[in-house]
Structure 1
Amino acid sequence: MAFHRRVVWITGASSGIGEALAYEFAQQGARLVLSARRADALERVRANCQRPEQHYVLAMDMKDIDRFPDLVKAVEQAMGTIDLLINNAGVSQRSLVKDTCLAVDRELMEVDYFGPVALTKAVLPLMLARKRGRLVAVSSIAGLVATPMRSTYAAAKHALRAFYDALRAEVYDHGVYVSVIYPGFVKTNISIAALVGDGSTQNKMDDAQNAAMSPQTFAQLAVAALARGEEHIVIGGLKEKLAVYIDRASPELRQWLMRKVKVV
C-alpha cells in the first residue's frame, strides 16, 4: 500500500525503464504524471496502465528548464500534491573522448544532469513546505564506476549522485527523502539512442544490453526498494555489482579491469 493514491511523476516515461516503472507504480495503485518529449508515446503508455483515467500526460523536454516552474504548477493543478518525483529521462553515449565533440558533452550534461537538477529545484520547495515527499534520481552503475566509451555520460551520472547525496543531507530533517537508483544493463533502447562522437545516434543494440535483465524485472526491484525507503539502490547483474564492490575495495584493480572489460 506504500504508493496507493500517491502522485508519482516519472520523466522519460515513454519507453524503457520509465515505461516499465509507470506500469509497476500503476499496479501499486499510484496516480501517475507521465513525461517525455513525445505526447503520442506517453498516451500509449497511459492507455496501457491500470486505471488510465487516473493518470496525466505532460510532454516536456529536459533541456527546456525555463518551463519547469509552470509545468510543476500544471501538475499540482491537475493532480494535487507531488509525492514522488522520479528523474529518469536521459541519454547515453558510445564514443571515445578523443572522438567526442564538445557539443555532445554539453548535450549529455544538459539532459542527464542540469535537467534533473532544475526539475528537482522546481519541485523541492513544495515538498519542503508540506514536510513530505521523495525525490528520486535514476543514475547508472556508470555513475559509480566509469567505463570507456561513456566518459561524459558517466560524468553526468556521477555529478547527479553527488548532487543528490548533498541534497539528502540537507533535507533529511525536513520530511523530504532522497533516493538514487543505479541500474546496470537493462534491455531497453538506450544503446540504440546513445549519442556517438558527432552527435548522431548509435542506432544499434549493444550485445551487453541485449542480454540484460528485462525492464519489467528492473521496475519491480526498483519500486520494491523505494517502498522500503532505500536511498542507495544498485540493480544489476553479478558482474556489474562486483565492479561496484571492487571499486570500493581497490580503485587500482577496478582501473585495471576497466581497461580489459567489454562494455558494449
Structure 2
Amino acid sequence: MSKIIWITGASSGIGEALVYKYFKAGNKLIISGRNRDELFRVKGNCQNSFNVHVLPFDLTETDLLPAKAEDAIRIFGKIDLLINSGGISQRSFALQTDLKTEQQIMNTNFWGTVGITKAVAASMIKNGGGQIVVISSLVGKFGTQLRSVYSASKHALHGYFDSMRNEVFDKNISITIVCPGFINTNISVNALTENGNKQGFMDNAQAKGMSVELCAAEIIKAVEAKKEEVYVGGKETKAIWLKRFFPKLLSKKIRQAKVI
C-alpha cells in the first residue's frame, strides 16, 4: 500500500538512498534538506517524479519548523511516515571546539529533529497513527574521540524518543531508532571541525563502510517490522554489546582505534 513519506536530509547519503527505494516502491514523497539544487537533483533522478515534492529548509531554524511541518502536511494531506535523516557530524576534540559549533550540531541533530517530529506526530495522532524513524548512530550508544557533541546529540535522541515511544504507544504511532555504523557517505567530508569549518575529506573507515544502498534496504526492513532500535553496519556494530557487557574493554579498543 502506498504511503506518504517525508524524508529530511534527503539531498545526500542515507536520506537520498531511502528516497530512491521508497519512490520505486510506489510511495509519495516529500524530500527536504538545506540544498535546494541538490534536492531537485534527487527529484530528477526519480522517473515520473510528480509524486516527489521538494521542500527545502534548515533544521537549525527551529522557530520555523512547525510552519514547515504544516507545509509538508498540506502537500498530500497527511504524513504516514516521517524519516528524520538530516544531521551533521563532527571531527574535533571537545576541549578545542567552539561552543557555537557545538550548538550548531546540537540544533541540527537534536532540536531540529524534535521540532519537526512534534509537529508531525500531532497530525499523525489526528489521522489515526503513523511511523517515525530517527537516524541516530552507533555513537548514540557510546562515545569516541573527535565526536563529543555529535555523540551527545545522538545520545539525546535516544533518551527523547525512547520516552516519546512510551507516551504514544496507544496512539498507533511506532518509533524506530536507527544506529548506522560506517556507511559510505559524505558525512565525514561535511563534518565540522573545531571552528565550524568542514573537514573536507572522507574518513578511511567511512570509505570502506557499507554501501548506502544496502544500509537503506536494512533500514526499510526494520521500519516495516516496526523495530524499536536497529544497528546497521559491519563488525563495528559489535561495539554495542561490548559497551553493555565489557565497557572497559571497549574504551581500551576505542582509544587504540583509528577513528578517522
Tell me the TM-score normalized by structure 2: 0.97
Number of the residue aligned with 1:245: 241
Alignment of 1:184-195 (within 5 A): 184-195=181-192
* TM-aligned CA deviation for residue 148 of structure 1: 0.6
Determine helix, strand or coil for the equivalent of 2:82: strand
Cα pair 1:142 1:157 within 8 Å, conserved: yes
Alignment of 1:1-264 (within 5 A): 4-238=1-235, 240-264=236-260
* TM-aligned CA deviation for residue 248 of structure 1: 1.0
Q: For 1:33 and 1:233, how far apart are their aligned partners in 2?
A: 24
Matched to 1:148, the amino acid is Q
* TM-aligned CA deviation for residue 51 of structure 1: 3.7
Q: Deviations over 1:150-172 (max 9, x none)?
A: 00000000001110100111101
Q: Deviations over 1:33-59 (max 9, x none)?
A: 000011111111112124411111000
Matched to 1:98, the amino acid is L
Tell me the TM-score normalized by structure 1: 0.96
* TM-aligned CA deviation for residue 127 of structure 1: 1.1
Cα pair 1:164 1:178 within 8 Å, conserved: yes
Q: For 1:25 and 1:175, how far apart are their aligned partners in 2?
A: 22
Determine helix, strand or coil for the equivalent of 1:149: coil
* TM-aligned CA deviation for residue 76 of structure 1: 2.0
Determine helix, strand or coil for the equivalent of 1:94: coil
Q: Deviations over 1:47-105 (max 9, x none)?
A: 21244111110001001122222222222221111001111100000011122111111
Q: For 2:256 and 2:157, how far apart are their aligned partners in 1?
A: 27
Matched to 2:221, the amino acid is A
Determine helix, strand or coil for the equivalent of 2:131: strand
Q: Deviations over 1:110-148 (max 9, x none)?
A: 001110011111111111222210111100001012111
Matched to 2:8, the amino acid is T
Matched to 2:60, the amino acid is K
* TM-aligned CA deviation for residue 210 of structure 1: 0.6
Matched to 2:93, the amino acid is L
Larger mean Cα displacement after TM superposition, 139-148 or 125-134: 125-134
Cα pair 1:23 1:50 within 8 Å, conserved: no
Q: CA RMSD in A?
A: 1.1
Runs of 5+ unmatched residues, structure 2 = none
